[in-house]
Structure 1
């Protein structure tokens, strides 16, 4: 029986923040995958190596974690005042599923650099030295991200001394601005209510668990925040404490599903299984001393609060960039659980402790007509090309 040969697709493997993903230019994809649909999903699943019942993605570019099971498609933007359109696909590990419902804030740090190197940004807008300002349209959620990409000698500068907890080696700092970050479920840029229930803190009924206080926010990515103590945690937990406990994982998925229903993201509990990337679930606690996964000691006096967040059913090893936007936004609004865990009151930035260390994020919040609005959230990440060339997939993947 003859078998079709592998095909080669130009691609770049990049780290952005504490994530890694395979980046493509839209025009480099096979014709059938240049449009949203089954052919595109099938291609990206095979590129990453999913679905994999072993959960290792050995026969693909994925790394067996939500942070390393990611794809990005970029194209020149047709929108005014934007340079590039950025589409993010979160690839499930053990299921044949690509989730397009949200952004990846970490990989957002790599979008500007890739866009410049791939010729997707007008060269007239890229300085020989200094910082290139790349205007990114985040197509999943219909929002604008501004990336400040360092340039040296006409090339993107990737090396530097900026350190990011969760990343072993230093690199060049990339500053990101997430404009008007309240999530837009239609992806048309029109925006939506930051607090879909109209409340800063809700009573969330979770069968088998009870009634939990929860802050449910659409900012960066839809996120459900609960108090660590209310679910039996202290906020200093590392990955093994959660990911090695099937009962804990089931608890968080239950909270996530019922929170998604309350936020209006799904209309039936069963739909949560087909929307794995969003919403996120995080638990917060006041500052405390702990030892990060790297062995680094984090002191209570160095942080404003503790946050642990779930991604694709597992505790994240650091913090998702989009969830960091949600944390910064919620911290800026007095009365949310995040704000209260940080001590309450008005604030424009917050430093929180996560499993790998600490992270600072800023947000500018104001109340307009009785509703809270955040004009932008700001944080710094880093990015680096790990490999570039072509990724290969069996020819029978493409119809």
Structure 2
């Protein structure tokens, strides 16, 4: 019996923020995978090693977590005043499914450096030394991200002394600006607050009715109070990810929240939209021990936040969820703002399972409606491996 040989595809494996993903230039993909559709999805599933009923992704590049089951496709931008188009695919671990419904804020930190190194940014826009400003079109949600990438002697600088909780080693700082981060219809629902309220009563049959802030900013997110669902806000992954009943409750909350946000019409559709919305729970500051063993004093943070991604409690914080946190914190009266002490604020430092993160946002009211012009945070990125990935030629 003849078997198809493997094909080689140029690729780069990069850590961006607290995530890792396989990056491709669109032009390097096989022709049938250069357009959206089943061939592209099948290729990326095979690259990552999904679907894997064992949940390990041993036969692929994935790391068996939502943070490491990710793919990115970049191309020279077709949008005016932008350098690169950035498309993110969240690959399911155990299902044959690639979710294109949202962005990855962590991997956004690596987009600018990969675009520069991959020749996708005009050389005239790259300084010999200093910060290269890369204007990114986030194609999943139709938003602009500006990355400030350090450059030394004409090359992207990846090493440095910037420390990011959830990442073991220091690296060079990359500052990201998420412009007008409230999601549009492609990202989820149009308005920043799709129900028109800063706080809603979210009724979840079989679970309860909770106060919730439903926001489209960075990524559609459902915020609830930790105490209302039986938590303190200082939990680490093991406290939730080993509890099957708890994970099912969170998924039920997520499904009903998605309906209220107008992202889906029926809760049964939530299974086909795993990446969005996110569910997060918040609490006032308290001292806790991070997953690294480091103490996080209450006086060093404004609030506690824990968030779930792809059905599991995240080990740190998704970058897009951090944008949602910063945006909601800047708007008086949201659950996030109230957990941080209320009032007007332009930045918050929140505690997550791996430590802390600071995120800022510029919010203002226009004709009675809240708008956020940008959210700002710093991450880091580093190339881990570059060359080719190989997949069986008949797998896509």
TM-score range, shorter chain: over 0.9
Q: Is 1:115 the equivalent of 2:131?
A: no
**CA deviation digits over 1:6-44, x for unaligned, max 9?**
000000000000000000000000000000000000000
1:191 deviates by: 8.8
Runs of 4+ in 1 over 6 A off after TM superposition: none
Cα deviation, 1:33-63, whole Å, max 9, x if unaligned, reads 0000000000000000000001000000000
Per the TM alignment, residue 269 of structure 1 is displaced from its structure 2 partner at its CA by: 0.7
Q: Secondary structure at the match of 1:61?
A: coil
> Aligned partners of 1:348, 1:333: CA distance in 2, in Å?
9
Deviation at 1:185, TM superposition (A): 2.8
Return the match for 2:334 from 333, 336, 348: 336
- RMSD (Å), alpha carbons: 0.9
**Secondary structure of the residue that 1:396 maps to in structure 2?**
coil
Counterpart position of 2:81: 81
Residue of structure 1 equivalent to 2:127: 127
Task: Indicate yes or no: 2:294 matched with 1:299.
Answer: no
How many Å separate the matches in 1 of 2:59 and 2:185?
33
Following TM superposition, by how much is the alpha carbon of 1:78 offset from its aligned partner in structure 2, in angstroms?
1.2
CA distance in structure 2 between the partners assigned to 1:292 and 1:186 by the alignment: 35
Q: For 2:308 and 2:199, locate their aligned partners in 1 and report how far apart those are by CA, in whole Å.
A: 20
Q: Which runs of 5+ in 1 are unaligned?
A: none
Q: Deviations over 1:225-247 (max 9, x none)?
A: 00000000000000000000001
Unaligned runs of 5+ in 2: none
Per the TM alignment, residue 370 of structure 1 is displaced from its structure 2 partner at its CA by: 1.1
Match of 1:357 in 2: 355
Match of 2:202 among 181, 201, 204: 204
Q: Does 1:150 align with 2:159?
A: no
Distance (whole Å) between structure 2 residues aligned to residue 32 and residue 375 of structure 1? 38
Q: CA separation in 1, counterparts of 2:395 and 2:266?
A: 32
TM (norm. structure 2) is 0.99
Q: Is the 8 A contact 1:182 1:191 kept in 2?
A: no
Distance (Å, rounded) in 2 between the aligned partners of 1:216 and 1:355? 22
Q: Secondary structure at the match of 1:162?
A: coil
**Secondary structure of the corresponding residue to residue 185 of structure 2:** coil
Aligned partner of 1:289 among 287, 290, 302: 287
Q: Distance in 2 between matches of 1:350 and 1:328?
A: 7
Determine the C-alpha separation between the residues in 2 that align with 1:191 and 1:45. 28
Alpha-carbon separation, structure 1, partners of 2:313 and 2:289: 16
The one-character-per-residue Cα deviations of 1:237-270 (angstroms, maximum 9, x if unpaired) are 0000000000110010000000000000000110
User: Residues of 1 paired with 2:28 and 2:267: CA distance?
Assistant: 38
Distance in 1, Cα, partners of 2:318 & 2:185: 19
1:219 aligns with 2:217: yes
Give 1:292 shift: 0.1
May I ask how many residue pairs the two structures share in their alignment?
Answer: 396
1:260 aligns with 258
The separation in 1 between residues aligned to 2:304 and 2:66, in whole angstroms, is 21
TM-score normalised to the size of structure 1? 0.99
1:1-399 matched pairs, under 5 angstroms: 1-186=1-186, 192-398=190-396
